[in-house]
Amino acid sequence: MTSPRCDPHAFFEAIGRDPAALASTLELFRTEGTAQCARIVSAVRTRSRRQLREALHAFAGSLAIVRAKSALDLCEILRRRADDDGAALELAALELEREFERVCEELSPFVARGRAAA
């Protein structure tokens, strides 16, 4: 069995163990995170260092809420490599996108439970 990609339990506690609020927040997390990933990939492709750093900062804040360690590690790698050019940076951005999707898949049962409780 693989270790979890994220842990939303601390956030769940912080919002008063409200499953509907958690589901709503996680749905927003997915929507906004998808847009943030697209901004990161776009910034890498257009070689906009400033936009890349800003997008990474915002995305890392979102990922921290659900303690998505692997995705946060990828954000840090991208941040450190922001001045690099080439395919390696784009590959890292695309891997971050894939990792985000895996995090969202792992969070989907929390969303389903929250919807059922609403």
* Structural domain spans, the chain: 9-110
Q: Is the pTM of this model over 0.95?
A: no
Torsion (CA) 49, 55, 61, 63 in degrees, nearest 10 = -110
Inform me whether the pLDDT recorded for 28 exceeds 80.
yes
Structure tokens of 60?
Answer: 């890392």
pLDDT for position 118: 79
Across the range 3-25, mean pLDDT stands at: 94
Q: How high does pLDDT run on average in the chain?
A: 94
Inform me whether the pLDDT recorded for 1 exceeds 70.
no
Across the range 13-28, mean pLDDT stands at: 95
Angular region, 67: left φ>0, alpha ψ -120 to 50, beta rest: left
pLDDT for position 17: 92
pLDDT tens for 33-87 read: 999 999 999 999 999 999 999 999 999 999 999 999 999 999 999 999 998 877 8
What is the Cα–Cα distance from 28 to 10, expressed in whole angstroms? 18
The answer to which of 4-8, 56-60, 86-90, 101-105 has the lowest mean pLDDT is: 86-90
